[in-house]
Structure 1
Amino acid sequence: MLIELLIVFIIMFFGSFIQGVSGFGFGLIAMGFLPFLFTVKESTLLVVSLAFVLAASIASQLYKHIQWKTLSVILCGGVLGRIGAFFVLDSFGEQEMLKVYLGLFLLAFVVYLFKNKPPKPGTTVNTTWLPFSLGVVGGLVGGVFAIGGPFFVFYFLLLYYDNKYAYSANLQVTFVVTALMTVTLHGINGDFSLGFLTYFLVGLVSVLIGSRIGILFFKKLSQEKVKRLAAIVVAIAALNLILTTLFF
C-alpha cells in the first residue's frame, strides 16, 4: 500500500510539473503509468479529479490572462463530449482491452507532440464549428482516457500563438469545467469509493507541489524541450502498457 502511494505521488508530481511548464500533459503522463496499478476507469477518475484541482490551481495564478469571450463555444463542445464519455467509461471502463486502446491513443498524441508546430502569424481562426468540434472530441477522449488536452491545445495555440500566458490560462479553464462535469456525473453514479479518497489526497499534495514548481520554471524552461521529454516518457509507457496487456 505504501509503495503504491509513493508511486502515485511520483507520477502525479511529474505530470503536474509538466502541465505547470507547458500548459498540459498531466493526463498524458499519469495515464501512461496508472493503469499498471488500477483499471482504466479507476485511473481516469483519479486523474480527472486531480486535473480539476491542478487546472484550478494554475488558472488562479494566471487569472488575469483569461479571456472569457473565446471560451463559450469550445466549453459547450467539451461538456457535451464529457456527457458521452460518461456512458462509455461506465460501460467499458473495467475491461482490460481498454488499456490497449489507451496505449494507442497515447502513441497518437506522442506523434502529435513531435510533429506539432506553432501556427504562422496572421492565421485566421474559425470561432464556431472548429472550437465546438475540437471541444466535443477533446471532451469525449478526455472523459474516457483523461488525455483530451491536445485537442484544446491545438485551438488555443492558434488563438494565442504569441501569448503563452493567455494560452495557458484559457486552456486551464477548459480543464476545470470539463473535469468538473466528469466528477459530477460519476459522483452522482456512485463511482467513487472510500479507498479512492486515500489516493486522491496523496495525489492532491503531489499536484499542488508539482504545479507550483512548474509555474516557477514556466518563464525559464523551453516548453518545446519539456514537451519532447514528456513525449518520450509517454511513448515508453504506452508501448509497455500495450505489450503488457496483450502478452502477459
Structure 2
Amino acid sequence: MLFIFFILLFGSFIQGASGFGFGIIAMSFLPFLFTVKESTLLVVSLAFVLSVSIALQLWKHIKWKSLLVILSAAVVGRYVGFLILSHYGEMDILKTFLGIFLIAVVIYLFCSKGPKPGKKVNQTWLPITLGFFGGLIGGIFAVGGPFFVFYFLLIYHDNKYAYSANLQISFLVTALITIALHGINGDFSIDFLGSFLVGLASVLIGSRIGIRFFARLSQEKIKRFAAIVVAIAAANLILFG
C-alpha cells in the first residue's frame, strides 16, 4: 500500500505540474502488482478524481468549443477500449503491449519539439483521429493522454492554462465513460476499494503540490524526468512483466 501511495503521489504531482502524466507514471508500475485490467480501473477512477481537482482550479480557462469534436471521438474510442479490456484485460501479454506503447510515448516526449507558432491546426480529421485513439488507448491502458496533449499543445501553445484546463476536462469525461461502462459490467470488486482510498489521498495531495509548482517549474524538465522514469518501468514490463 505504501508503494502504491508514493507511485500515485508522484504521478499526480507530475500531472498537476505539467497537465498530464498521472496515467503514464501509474501504469508504468501498477501492473507489477495487479493485472492490466485491475491497474487500468484503479488509475482511471483516480484520474477522474484528479482531473476534477485540477479542473476546478483552472475552470475559468476552459475553452468549451474546442472540446466538442475531440471528446465525441474519444467517447467512441473509450467504448471500443472497454470491449477489449473486458475480454482480454486479465492476459499477461497486455503488459508487454503496454510496455511497448510506453516506450513509444517516451520517444515522443524526447523527440517532440513542440508546435510551430502560427501554424493552422485542422479542426476536423485531426481531433477525430487523436480523440478516437486517445479514448481507445486510455480505455485499455489508461495512458491515452499523449494524444490529447499533442492536440491541445497545437491549439494552445501560447496559453498553458487553457492547455491544462482543456486537458483535464478531456481526462474527466473519458474517465467517467470508462467508470460507467465497467460499473454497469460489474468489474469493480470490494478489494478495489482499499487501493482506491489509498490512491485518493495520494492524488489529492500530489495534485495540490503540483499545481503550486505549475507556474514555476519548466515543463520541459518535468517532461524529460518523467520520461526517464517511464522508460525504466516500460523496459521492466517488457522483460519481466
TM-score (norm 2): 0.99
Does residue 194 of the first structure (1) align with residue 194 of the second (2)?
A: no
Q: For 1:118-137, what aligned pairs fall within 5 Å after superposition? A: 118-137=114-133
Partner of 1:172: 168
Shift of 1:241: 1.1
Q: Secondary structure at the match of 2:181?
A: helix
Shift of 1:153: 0.4
Rounded to whole Å, the distance in 2 between the matches of 1:227 and 1:121 is 20
**Sequence identity (%):** 71
Unaligned runs of at least 5 residues, structure 2: none
Q: Deviations over 1:138-194 (max 9, x none)?
A: 000000000000000000000000000000000000000000000000000000001
Q: Match of 1:50?
A: 46
1:141 paired to 2:137: yes
Two-structure CA RMSD over aligned residues (Å)? 0.5
Structure 1 length-normalised TM: 0.96
**Equivalent-residue separation in structure 2 for 1:117 and 1:177 (angstroms):** 28
Distance in 1 (CA, whole Å) between partners of 2:189 and 2:113 is 42
Name 2:69's counterpart in structure 1.
73
Distance in 2 of aligned mates of 1:179 and 1:83: 11
- Report the secondary structure of 1:221's partner residue: coil
Cα distance in 1 for partners of 2:184, 2:117 equals 45
The amino acid of 2:115's aligned partner reads P
Measure the CA separation in 2 of the matches of 1:48 and 1:160.
25
Aligned residue number for residue 30 of structure 1: 26
User: What is the CA deviation profile of residues 101-131 of structure 1, one whole-angstrom value per residue up to 9, with x for unaligned ones?
Assistant: 0000000000010011121111101111110
Deviations 1:56-91 (A, max 9, x none): 110100000000011000000110000000000000
| Corresponding residue number in structure 2 for 1:182 | 178
Residues 1-248 of structure 1 aligned to structure 2 (within 5 Å): 5-245=1-241
Paired with 1:121 and 1:92, the residues of 2 have a C-alpha distance of: 42
Report runs of 4+ in structure 1 exceeding 4 Å deviation: none
- For each residue in 1:28-59, what CA deviation from the matched residue of structure 2 results, as whole angstroms up to 9, or x when unmatched? 10000000000000000000000000011101
Consecutive unaligned residues in structure 1, runs of 5 or more: none
**3-state SS of 1:71 partner:** helix
